[in-house]
């Protein structure tokens, strides 16, 4: 009996050791699975983070392009509006020039008209409006609009002989071409 009890005890100890080994193996397997799952989750999170960073960079670039495009459009609209306004004022300038050329018996009235005209010209000058030099210059279709031809031996070929209506430009943009008579075309 003592021997049977020893064998039972040894069998129980062996069984306990087997159970402990199984539990250890299962724990190790679970830990490995958890580590793999954590590694997979980490990799997934890294990929997601990279996608979000890429999306953010694209959104920032898109917004920057939108801002630049909007600013450019705003400047273009401002320039067009300024040009349109000035082109509407040019007939007023022409009328002032005609008024100053007309005979006037009242010197004070004429001086007042001259002052208004000077003020208007100064204001246009501050806005960057310049008169196009035409008379005596070579004909330039970019600046001049030829409405007649004149034969004049004292002038060279394709020289502006007479300005019928002044032209104006703002920077390099022509607001109104000068109407001219061209000599010896």
CA 20 distance to own-chain centroid: 74
Predicted confidence at residue 75, as pLDDT, reads 92
For residue 44 the two structure tokens come to: 């997934």
Predicted confidence at residue 56, as pLDDT, reads 93
Strand 159-165 relative to strand 178-183: parallel, antiparallel, unpaired?
A: antiparallel
| pLDDT higher than threshold 90 for residue 34 | no
Residues 55-74 have pLDDT tens digits of 999 999 999 999 999 999 99
For residue 10 the two structure tokens come to: 């040894």
CA 24 distance to own-chain centroid: 68
Residues 113-162 have pLDDT tens digits of 999 999 999 999 999 999 998 888 888 889 999 998 888 778 778 888 88
- Residue 43: pLDDT band with limits 50, 70, 90: confident
Predicted confidence at residue 24, as pLDDT, reads 74
Domains and CATH numbers, the chain: 131-185 (2.30.22.10)
- State the SS3 of 117-183: HHHHHHHHHHCCEEECCCCCCECCCCCEEEEEEECCCCCCCCEEEEEEECCEEECCEEEECEEEEEE
- Residue 2: pLDDT band with limits 50, 70, 90: low
Give the residue, 3 or 145, on which the prediction is more confident.
Answer: 145
Report the distance separating Cα 153 and Cα 137, nearest Å.
15
Average pLDDT, the chain: 86
Predicted confidence at residue 136, as pLDDT, reads 84
């Amino acid at each position: 009996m003592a021997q049977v009890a020893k064998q039972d005890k040894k069998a129980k100890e062996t069984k306990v050791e087997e159970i402990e080994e199984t539990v250890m193996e299962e724990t190790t397997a679970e830990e490995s699975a958890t580590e793999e799952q954590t590694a997979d989750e980490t990799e997934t999170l890294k990929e997601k983070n990279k996608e979000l960073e890429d999306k953010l960079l694209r959104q920032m670039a898109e917004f920057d392009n939108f801002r630049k495009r909007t600013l450019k459009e705003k400047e273009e609209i401002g320039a067009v509006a300024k040009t349109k306004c000035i082109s509407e004022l040019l007939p007023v300038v022409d009328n002032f020039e005609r008024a100053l050329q007309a005979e006037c018996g009242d010197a004070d009235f004429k001086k007042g008209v001259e002052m208004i005209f000077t003020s208007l010209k100064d204001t246009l000058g501050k806005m960057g409006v310049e008169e196009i030099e035409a008379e005596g210059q070579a004909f330039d279709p970019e600046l001049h609009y030829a409405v007649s031809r004149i034969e004049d031996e004292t002038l060279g070929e394709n020289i502006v002989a007479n300005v019928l209506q002044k032209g104006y430009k703002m920077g390099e943009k022509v607001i109104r071409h000068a109407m001219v008579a061209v000599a010896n075309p």
